[in-house]
Every structure is written in C-alpha cells, then in structure tokens.
Amino acid sequence: MPTTIQVREETLERLKEAKAETGAASYDELISDLLRKAARRKTRFGAHPRMAPFAHGRTGHGD
C-alpha cells in the first residue's frame, strides 16, 4: 500500500539525484537499496575473528 513521507526539500533533491545516478525505477527501489547497503555495512564490524581484542596498555608515551 503506497504511503506518503515528509522530507525536507534538500533531501528530496538528493533523492532525485541518487535515483537518476543509480537508475532506480522508483524512490521505493532507491530507498530499499540504500537500506540494504546500510545493513551490510553494519554486519562487517568485527569481520576479523582472529584479530586480538583491543587492550589498553603502555604506549611508550610516558604513561
């Protein structure tokens, strides 16, 4: 079911530019793609399971 959302004029202009640049068929397609990409970025945090956790320690800077 279609709905209406309120955005600032500046945001609308940015959406128009992004829609044209990506070739998205609709704003719905554009927004869905942006959300999908944002979700993938979040899941990359901690992508190196063998990396040792950060530990505070002496840095040699007079601590």
pLDDT at 51 over 90: no
For residue 55, the model assigns a pLDDT of 76
| Total Cβ atoms within 10 A of residue 30 | 19
Pick from 38, 31, 1, 36: nearest CA to 16: 31
Show me where the domains of the chain are located. Answer: 7-31
pLDDT at 29 over 80: yes
What three-state secondary structure class fits 60? coil
pLDDT in tens, 31-50: 999 999 888 776 555 667 67
Contact of 30 with 15, CB cutoff 8 Å: yes
pTM score > 0.75 for this model? Answer: no
For residue 50, the model assigns a pLDDT of 76
